Structure 1
Amino acid sequence: SQRYGFDMNIVYPSIEAMINATHPDAVTAFNPIYDHLKTVEICAPKGIHVMVEKPLAVSWEHSQKMVALARQHNIHLLTNYETTWYGSTVDAYRIVHQDHSIGDITKILFHTGHAGPIEIGCRKEFTDWLTDPILNGAGALTDFGCYGANMATWLMKGATPVTVSCVTQQMKPNVYPRVEDEATIILTYPKAQVIIQASWNWPYSRKDMTIYGKSGYVLCKNGRDMEILISGKKGITSQQAGPLPKGAHDPFAFLANVVRGKIEVAPFGLSSLENNVIVTQILDAAKVAALTGKTTVWDDYFRQD
């Protein structure tokens, strides 16, 4: 509390104690991914809306239970990603789906990650669970593979992949002995392919996306800087994305406005429950593919017996 300047009177020994004392309309759960389910189990029956930090759940099994609770008790269950609040992310969607500037999507590339959570100085309280295969679900695959899965599902308008392939490696087993620090996920769709390179081995922090269409591409270098190439037009155009509208510009403003009925969550939108259930499925399918060395066929793996 001294470091960050908050009063210990607002710190409670449990979620239940906090709820009994404050009676919140919504909570944000930026805790170990495994504990997201418990948070929803406590909050949903009380009608308390929940926003969790990415990804939604540690597994598809957990996410199914969370969905059932959210629907039974009629609460919003949102997932937060840093990239949701990038102006470039929203501009890229507009260029592809509203302006139709680059034609139908044929390939999307995601490069996400950094030099490693320990290397960049994350605190031990965080890295202890982030590098735990149970509490986090995996290592870099979960931590940074979820970004590409989330944005791909949004850009593909909720379509699920036909197949999921994945290769993982431990480049630094002495630093991360329990989990992979390198993951490449390949998603195939009927007429498109998505490649997600999630890593704790990049020489710099990055979350960039390139969307290729039949007649051009859009590159989002970061939250603001973009490049666009359109066939038939001369050269590459650079542009800067503007900020998002006030009230939908950060997770806390967005959550408040959703709960108050001022913003409607778009179907398969970046924060939506529908999108993020698919993200947990993609990550589960990727882990199976990496473990077995075989491509996971979506309809076979997720068929309802």
Structure 2
Amino acid sequence: MVRIPLYIAFLLMSLLANGQSPKKPIRIGIVGLVHSHVHGILNKAFRQKQTDVEIVGIAEPNRELAERFAKQYGYSMSLVYPTIAEMLDKTKPEAVTDFGRIIDHKKTVEACAPRGIHVMVEKPLATSFADAQQMGSLAKKHSVQLLTNYETTWYGSNHKAFALANSEKAIGDLRKIVVHDGHQGPKEINVNKEFLDWLTDPATNGAGALFDFGCYGANLSTWLLRNQRPLSVMAVTQQIKPDIYPKVDDEATIILTYPKTQTIIQASWNWPFSRKDMEVYGQTGYVFTVDGTRMRLRQKDDKAERSLEATSTDAPAADPFAYFASLLRGETKPDELTSLENNLIVMEILDAARQSAKTGKAVSLKQKL
């Protein structure tokens, strides 16, 4: 006879008494290990052993990379398959998270959507608007979630700023949004070789800093302006460090014009330090986000700005994987920042920005009737 530890017995009785049963973890497959953001889910699943997700398979053709991470996180190499198709067929995940090259996001959706498997990709959604549209059509056809993960989605400060600007109307109608994102450069901050190789290739990443960090500002601006599409997109890019990044831009500025608002996105691999912050100006005040929690606010009749502090509860979840699990269980509402609707507009903006930077001219977006 198997003896159940007393504390587990009490937990089970408590759950049953409240009409609850222990939640099963969401069965997750990982597609690709070449994006360093993969450390987040590997740490959660194998080190912290959190139970909202269970990694059932990993698709990664680079055996040496998979073995390196297996030693670091302690997972079995029996979880690793050389192709997406084999991993999906053998492990039957409910959802996948894609940590591969941006160009390969489309292949992941093509493999998963017809099987009814939900997909979360790392930002941005795709390398082109055309690919993003095809991915979106597949997701809708097969009724699966297609989400895009941004680090800034999980910043309580951004959600508090959104509430002040939209729900509370605390700073008046929005007039200007300025978003700063980036760091000293991927090579300068010592990203691993597998990540650096594709991140600095315009075919596999779409562009350099323009896509890598311009996507954050496009995502946040689209959200703050309630999924408005801009009237026009103007972008300027530079290669300040062509000796390090010969194929792609390392400096980018994007200007989005709306009927009554302007957004300036400053995306860079040349900041003196890492940053992800924004300034939101209304007719009667402004709110700045400094980092994930710290903020500054000045409203009408204020003689000086004041500091605010956001908390983790202002964000939709503690991390993207907890959110993904909760969404698939039907416990939480879809988040607008990760949504397909928002990120199709993001890709339209990035595609236009790349074209504008190449031609030196603003790109007008046709407005939908």
TM over 0.5: yes
Q: How does 1:118-133 map to 2 (within 5 A)?
A: 118-133=187-202
Map 1:41-190; keep pairs closer than 5 Å: 41-190=110-259
The corresponding residue for 1:210 is: 279
Higher mean C-alpha displacement, 210-219 vs 240-249 = 240-249
Count residues with an aligned counterpart.
Answer: 300
Q: Hey, what's the Cα distance between the residues in 1 that align with 2:315 and 2:125?
A: 25
Partner of 1:287: 354
Shift of 1:22: 1.4
TM-superposition CA deviations, 1:9-60 (whole Å, max 9, x none): 2111111121122111100002100000000000000000000000111110
Cα displacement string for residues 215-265 of structure 1 (whole angstroms, at most 9, x for unaligned residues): 110000110110000120231110110113697221101111111111221
1:160 maps to a residue whose letter is: R
Equivalence for 2:343: 276
Alpha-carbon distance in structure 1 between the residues aligned to 2:172 and 2:193: 46
**Structure 1 unpaired stretches of 5+:** none
> Counterpart of 2:202 in 1: which secondary structure?
coil
Q: Secondary structure at the match of 2:131?
A: helix
Unaligned 5+ residue runs, structure 2? 1-69
**Aligned partners of 1:153, 1:199: CA distance in 2, in Å?**
20
Report which of the two structures shows the higher radius of gyration computed on alpha carbons.
2
Q: Which residue of 2 aligns with 1:18?
A: 87
Give the Cα separation in 2 of the matches to 1:165 and 1:29. Answer: 30
CA spacing shift, 1:239–1:245, aligned 2, 3 Å: closer
Length-normalised TM-score, structure 1: 0.96
Give the ranges of 4+ consecutive aligned residues of structure 1 lying more than 6 Å apart after TM superposition.
none
1:196 is matched with 265
Identity of aligned residues (%): 55
C-alpha contact 2:236 2:357 (8 A) present in aligned 1: yes
Is this contact kept in 2: 1:44–1:75, CA < 8 A?
yes
What's the counterpart of residue 59 of structure 2?
none
1:232 aligns with 2:301: yes
Contact residue 155 and residue 315 of structure 2 kept, 8 A: no
Relative distance call for 1:153 and 1:303 in structure 2 (3 A) is: closer
Residue type of the alignment partner of 2:360: G
The change in CA–CA distance for 1:148 and 1:246 in structure 2 (over 3 A counts) is: closer
Under a length normalisation based on structure 2, what TM-score does the superposition of the two structures give? Answer: 0.79
Query: 1:54-104 deviations in whole A, cap 9, x for unaligned?
Result: 011111010011011001101000000000000001000011111111001
Residues 1:259 and 1:195: Cα distance change in structure 2 (over 3 Å)? same
Q: Which amino acid aligns with 2:162?
A: Y
| Structure 2 partner of 1:262 | 331
SS at match of 1:270: coil
Range with greater deviation from structure 2 (133-142 or 252-261): 252-261
**Aligned residue type for 1:39:** T
Contact 1:184–1:198, Cα closer than 8 Å, also in 2: yes
RMSD of aligned alpha carbons: 1.4
Alignment partners' CA distance in 2, 1:125 and 1:273: 28
Cα distance change of structure 1 residues 49 and 57 upon mapping to structure 2, 3 Å threshold = same
Match of 2:320 in 1: 251
Alignment partner of 2:197: what SS?
A: helix
Assess if the C-alpha contact under 8 Å between 1:169 and 1:183 holds in 2: yes
Relative contact order, higher structure (CA 8 A, sep 6+): 1
Q: Distance in 2 between matches of 1:232 and 1:303?
A: 39
d(CA) in 1 for partners of 2:310, 2:316: 17
